[in-house]
């Protein structure tokens, strides 16, 4: 359980699914989020994938420009999502080809996991990929987690079943397509990190969620889905000290209301793809 301290604590902000697409709307949302991060005096920022909308270098450059205050001071950690893999596949370079790597910062031990696969080069094949080897590697790196650091596992795709968020997802599920499914080894990953990590932070699904998995070991484990930070216009902040959460995470609102974009952008192509899949199945 989170505990309280009288001394000042550190702040970790969790964002995801920015879908920066070179439009004025996405730029305005990102700029508003950055202002809020500054106002909250956040110590470190994590972005759990889908920084870009079509995987282009130009979109990633916009991300770099917006988040330069944290990137230039080493206070930003990000991982790829499925939307970072199509097009120019900018996401393939986010983790230098590694599926798992760790980042250690003041009071933090971050285990970064790339849950994307080569099938994500296709814009419509959005489901994640997690192998036994990757789960084993996460297990190994957790052995080196400091006792006095907050331990968070970062990945893009969801590790637990979540409610369907759109009509195209409902159709895909009914057709037996994997698009809306959680990671096949998501439950295995949770079993292996239980008691050894404090947080599992992810994105992919645009409606935020959270789950308290109790205390399977020395540490209690919580799972948080950020949702789409640009669509929501807000993000969670986790206060922590000496390897423990301080109080409950707080939602922080951006300085300007967000204008939902990505769900609308995806409906038409998703329906076109599903019609194509149905056509191949029938003929």
**pLDDT, tens digit, for every residue of 32-54?**
999 999 999 999 999 999 999 99
Please report which confidence band the pLDDT of residue 7 belongs to, taking 50, 70 and 90 as the band edges: low
Could you give the CA distance from residue 202 to residue 108 in angstroms, rounded to a whole number? 17
| pLDDT surpasses 50 at 262 | no
Sign of the Cα pseudo-torsion (178, 187, 111, 241, in order): positive
Segment (H or E) for 210: strand 209-212
Task: Look at residue 279 and give its three-state secondary structure.
Answer: helix
Could you give the CA distance from residue 72 to residue 75 in angstroms, rounded to a whole number? 8
Strands 250-253 vs 244-245: parallel, antiparallel or unpaired: unpaired
State the CB neighbour count (10 A cutoff) for residue 125: 17
pLDDT per residue as tens digits for the range 77-109:
999 999 999 999 999 999 998 999 999 999 999
Could you give the CA distance from residue 260 to residue 48 in angstroms, rounded to a whole number? 19
Please report which confidence band the pLDDT of residue 175 belongs to, taking 50, 70 and 90 as the band edges: confident
pLDDT per residue as tens digits for the range 219-245:
899 999 999 999 999 999 999 999 999
Residue reference for tokens 């950020």 = 226
**Could you please report the per-residue DSSP string of 22-80?**
SSHHHHHHHHHHHHHHHHTT-SEEEEES--BSS--HHHHHHHHHHTHHHHTTT-EEEE-
Ramachandran class of 87: left when φ > 0, alpha when ψ lies in -120 to 50, beta otherwise: left
Could you give the CA distance from residue 223 to residue 45 in angstroms, rounded to a whole number? 17
In order of their start, the domains of the chain are 10-282 (3.60.21.10)
Residue reference for tokens 């003929």 = 283
DSSP 149: S
3-state helix, strand, coil in the chain (%, to 5): 35, 20, 45
Treating both helix axes as pointing N-terminal to C-terminal, what angle do 132-142 and 186-193 enclose, rounded to 10 degrees? 20
pTM for the whole structure: 0.90
Annotate 63-84 with b (16+ C-beta within 10 A) or e (fewer): beebbeebbeeebbbbbbbbbb
């Amino acid at each position: 359980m989170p505990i309280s301290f009288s001394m000042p604590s550190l702040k970790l902000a969790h964002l995801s699914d920015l879908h920066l697409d070179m439009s004025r709307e996405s730029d305005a949302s990102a700029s508003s989020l950055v202002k809020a991060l500054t106002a909250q005096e956040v110590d470190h920022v994590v972005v759990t994938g889908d920084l870009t909308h079509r995987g282009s270098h130009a979109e990633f450059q916009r991300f770099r420009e917006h988040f330069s205050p944290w990137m230039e001071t080493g206070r930003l950690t990000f991982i790829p999502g499925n939307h970072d893999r199509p097009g120019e596949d900018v996401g393939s370079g986010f983790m230098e080809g590694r599926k798992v790597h760790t980042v250690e910062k003041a009071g933090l031990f971050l285990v970064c996991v790339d849950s994307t696969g080569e099938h994500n080069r296709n814009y419509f094949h959005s489901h994640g990929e997690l192998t036994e080897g990757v789960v084993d590697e996460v297990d190994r790196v957790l052995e080196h987690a400091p006792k006095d650091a907050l331990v968070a596992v970062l990945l893009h795709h969801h590790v637990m079943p979540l409610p369907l968020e759109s009509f195209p997802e409902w159709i895909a599920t009914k057709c037996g397509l994997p698009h809306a499914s959680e990671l096949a080894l998501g439950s295995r990953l949770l079993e292996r990190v239980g008691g050894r990590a404090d947080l599992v932070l992810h994105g992919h699904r645009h409606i935020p969620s959270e789950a308290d998995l109790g205390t399977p070991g020395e540490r209690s484990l919580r799972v948080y889905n950020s949702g789409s930070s640009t669509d929501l216009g807000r993000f969670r902040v986790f206060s922590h000290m000496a390897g423990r959460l301080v109080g409950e995470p707080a939602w922080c609102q951006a300085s300007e209301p967000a204008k939902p974009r990505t769900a609308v952008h995806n409906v038409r192509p998703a329906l076109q793809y599903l019609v194509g899949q149905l056509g191949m199945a029938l003929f």
